[in-house]
């Protein structure tokens, strides 16, 4: 239900001739993003809170961007959205704040499937406070973990559970709602890294029942900007490290220093683009969602539902293309019957080939792919691949095509 020609025409970078499969490292941007950034810098470039018109206009753009992100994530109110330089920086700040009350003997649960931005901040916070880290392992056969195994790690001493919505390494979509329910039953908070899931499917923080979520706009077709969502009561009562003149109410208490207002404007442009996708995606998704959402929230959810449905087709095509390459081993979910539990991010190794050599050769042929550990070092260590260069990662998104995937399959077979 996506008009791929119209969509691809929105992205100038796709005219380069390359096949853009490095999207997990950062997606390309539509014209709405650059138009918003240029308009902001040319017409409303001023600092926050001034008494003059351009400052008022700048504040209005930021407020609209904040409200749009709240709609995108299903937040109860815009004040639950805080901006920062990137997800990693925001998570380090939140880890420092949340851990102030931890004591020796308290416990934190982390997973080996996560990007290190949702691991190291909590490891360091636990070390500072003398807390114990407990690890939720994943099954190396399909790179999934279970809520049942998580429950075995929880106790009355558990203070926080940090999980990823989707793996940036192997594409697994995790049971975030199930993890949240289990954690809350133990009295723990839940912090979710949604950086990799955000461009692939609908997010509803209320429906998931989580406490905090962090993501990055440059992974869902926007500029480099970090986003933190938190339940308003938690953002309000958690200690914030801030300068004295900053307001005490959220989100101001969590936005340290002057923000990149032009990046907020660009993020608004990215969500305007997704709204355009939602408006054009057709009836079934909108009818299914209309009972729960309205206005911009509706079209954004409609867009992400349509994208999710289309990308299931990309997953099937990519799984088939990789399965046809001799000596290639996909790491993660490879059974097409289970592709509902993954996004179209596939990582693999090839017998007798170093991942960097494969990526370099594909790059010479016009395919942009990644290699290594992608900062999900826990995955490559658990799979025994860190010392041998990690894996090759191919990550299409909704502006990619089945034909591009078939061409990649032919290039890999020729290797």
Query: How confident is the model at residue 211, as a pLDDT?
Result: 98
At residue 1, the pLDDT reads 79
- Write down the CATH number for the domain with range 36-271: 3.40.640.10
Domain 4-29+311-414 in this protein, CATH class: alpha beta
Pairing mode, if any, of strands 19-20 and 189-193?
unpaired
Please state, as a whole number, how many other Cβ atoms lie within 10 Å of the Cβ of residue 411. Answer: 19
Report the run of H or E that residue 216 belongs to, with start and end: strand 212-216
- Two tokens at 205? 């923080």
Phi, psi (rounded to 5 degrees) for 107: -130, 150
Please give the backbone phi and psi of residue 84, each rounded to the nearest 5 degrees, phi first. -160, 180
Paired strand residues for 193: 164, 214
Q: Which residues of the chain have pLDDT under 70?
A: 282-293
pLDDT at site 405: 98
Convert the pLDDT of each residue in 304-360 to its tens digit.
Answer: 999 999 999 999 999 999 999 999 999 999 999 999 899 999 999 999 999 999 999
Q: What is the pLDDT of residue 288?
A: 64
Angle at 381 between CA 192 and CA 363, to 5 degrees: 90
Handedness of CA 36, 39, 42, 43 (dihedral sign): negative
pTM (2 d.p.): 0.97
What are the residue boundaries of the structural domains of the chain, listed by start? 4-29+311-414, 36-271
| pLDDT for residue 319 | 97
């Amino acid at each position: 239900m996506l008009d791929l020609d119209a969509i691809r025409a929105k992205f100038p970078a796709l005219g380069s001739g390359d096949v853009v499969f490095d999207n997990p490292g950062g997606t390309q941007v539509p014209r709405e993003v650059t138009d918003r950034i240029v308009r902001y810098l040319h017409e409303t470039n001023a600092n926050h809170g001034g008494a003059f018109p351009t400052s008022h206009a700048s504040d209005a753009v930021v407020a609209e961007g904040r409200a749009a992100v709240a709609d995108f994530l299903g937040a109860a109110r815009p004040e639950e959205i805080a901006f920062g330089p990137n997800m990693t920086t925001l998570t380090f700040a939140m880890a420092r704040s949340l851990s102030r009350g931890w004591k020796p003997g308290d416990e934190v649960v982390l997973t080996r499937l996560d990007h290190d931005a949702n691991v190291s901040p909590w490891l360091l916070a636990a070390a500072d406070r003398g807390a114990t880290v407990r690890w939720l392992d994943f099954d190396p056969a399909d790179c999934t973990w279970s809520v049942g195994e998580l429950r075995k790690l929880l106790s009355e001493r558990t203070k926080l559970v940090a999980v990823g919505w989707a793996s940036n390494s192997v594409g697994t979509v995790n049971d975030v709602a199930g993890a949240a329910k289990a954690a809350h039953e133990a009295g723990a908070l839940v912090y979710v890294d949604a950086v990799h899931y955000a461009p692939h499917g609908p997010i509803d923080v209320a429906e998931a029942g989580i406490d905090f979520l962090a993501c990055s706009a440059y992974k869902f077709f926007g500029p480099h900007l970090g986003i933190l969502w938190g339940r308003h009561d938690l953002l309000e009562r958690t200690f914030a490290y801030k300068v004295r003149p900053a307001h005490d109410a959220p989100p101001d208490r969590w936005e340290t220093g002057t923000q990149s207002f032009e990046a907020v404007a660009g993020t608004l442009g990215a969500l305007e683009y997704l709204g355009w996708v939602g408006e054009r995606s057709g009836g079934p998704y909108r009818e299914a969602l209309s009972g729960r959402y309205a206005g911009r929230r509706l079209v954004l959810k409609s867009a992400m539902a349509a994208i999710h449905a289309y990308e299931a087709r990309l997953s099937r095509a990519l799984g088939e293309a990789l399965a046809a390459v001799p000596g290639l081993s996909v790491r993660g979910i490879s059974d097409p019957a289970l592709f509902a539990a993954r996004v179209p991010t596939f990582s693999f190794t090839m017998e007798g080939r170093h991942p960097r050599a494969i990526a370099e050769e594909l790059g010479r042929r016009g395919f942009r792919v990644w290699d290594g550990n992608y900062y999900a070092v826990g995955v490559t260590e658990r799979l025994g691949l860190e010392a041998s260069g990690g894996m090759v990662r191919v990550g299409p998104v909704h502006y990619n095509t089945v034909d591009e995937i078939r061409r990649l399959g032919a290039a890999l077979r020729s290797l």
